[in-house]
Structure 1
Amino acid sequence: MDPYLGDIELFAFDFAPSYWMLCEGQTLNIATNQALFTLLGTTFGGNGTTTFCLPDLRNALPMQGMGMHYCIAVQGTYPSRN
């Protein structure tokens, strides 16, 4: 089953799986990530015209230095309001 777009999960390895990105405050282009932008907007930064940012959850890890990372689904099922 596909994750919901924008879903954030903790993974126990040093990389983001396919269709996920690390939650490290990266700036993304709205034109290439329109669906994700509709969910996040500029909540975590960006200018809202051409860019937006992912959340930076590096300091929220339960165990620092253990190879764990929060990742956000950049592809998946668009969440429904129903």
Structure 2
Amino acid sequence: MDEFLIGEIIPVPYTFVPEFTLYCDGQEYPVQQFQLLFALIGFTFGGNGSTTFRVPNLKGFEPNPKIRYVIVTNGIFPDRY
């Protein structure tokens, strides 16, 4: 997944979550486990304010019922200008 930016949201036509991604379904995850992703999105989509954060919930916004959105957790850390 080195060709994707951490935090990039991509559509996938799979019934499984690809390696180094998480479904964009509003789930809560530990900050410690996904530090780079948390560094980019922080508590924007929720969390407990200290040890957990949430990914965006894009369920229902898919262009096709067989498509799911995932967010990249490992790859290139985007430059901030």
Relative to the length of structure 1, the TM-score reads 0.89
Q: Please give the secondary structure, in 2, of the residue aligned with 1:58.
A: coil
Structure 2 segments unaligned to the other structure (5+ residues): none
Aligned residues: 80
CA contact (8 A) 1:41 1:48 kept: no
Shift of 1:3: 0.7
Displacement over 2 Å in runs of 4+: none
Q: Residue 60 of structure 2: SS of its match in structure 1? A: helix
Q: Which residue of 2 aligns with 1:46?
A: 47
1:78 equivalent in alignment to 2:77: yes
Q: Among all aligned residue pairs of Structure 1 and Structure 2, give the percentage whose two residues are the same amino acid.
A: 36
Shift in Å, 1:27: 0.4
Measured against aligned partners, the alpha-carbon deviations of 1:13-63 in whole angstroms (never above 9, x if no partner) come to 212211111111110101111111111111111022000000110111112
User: For structure 1, which runs of at least 5 residues remain unmatched after alignment?
Assistant: none
RMSD (Å), alpha carbons: 1.2
